[in-house]
Structure 1
Amino acid sequence: MGKGINMFIKVGALIYVAYLLINKFIVQIPYVIAIPVLVLGIVLMITGIIKTCKR
């Protein structure tokens, strides 16, 4: 059995959830900032999935 969810997946999901909560309830985040941050989160999640599959 593995150790569970990879750290990259956790960080990527945290970035995505933080963006959703901040954008919805606190302040509108401009697309110039939001798009690179979300791309970073997605890349981290994909990296975590690939590393988990290789084990």
Structure 2
Amino acid sequence: HHDHMICKCCGTIIEFQNNKIEELQIEVSKLHNFKITSHLIMIPEVDSLSIILKSLGAV
């Protein structure tokens, strides 16, 4: 299973897989008696590439 990070500014998509994130989701779901059928983790951030492109007038 893999996840995606998507830049809200430029649309850059980075696929990644992290066992720690998977393990934590399972741990927290068991703690609260939930069964995970899907998930979405949102971390608001600006892609550094977007900052560079904007400063150059490319975006």
- The two structures share one fold, judged by TM-score above 0.5: no
Q: Answer 1 or 2: higher relative contact order, Cα 8 Å, separation at least 6.
A: 1
Larger radius of gyration: 2
| Structure with the higher helix share, 1 or 2 | 1
Quickly name the TM-score band, shorter chain normalised.
0.3 to 0.5
TM-score, scaled to structure 2: 0.32
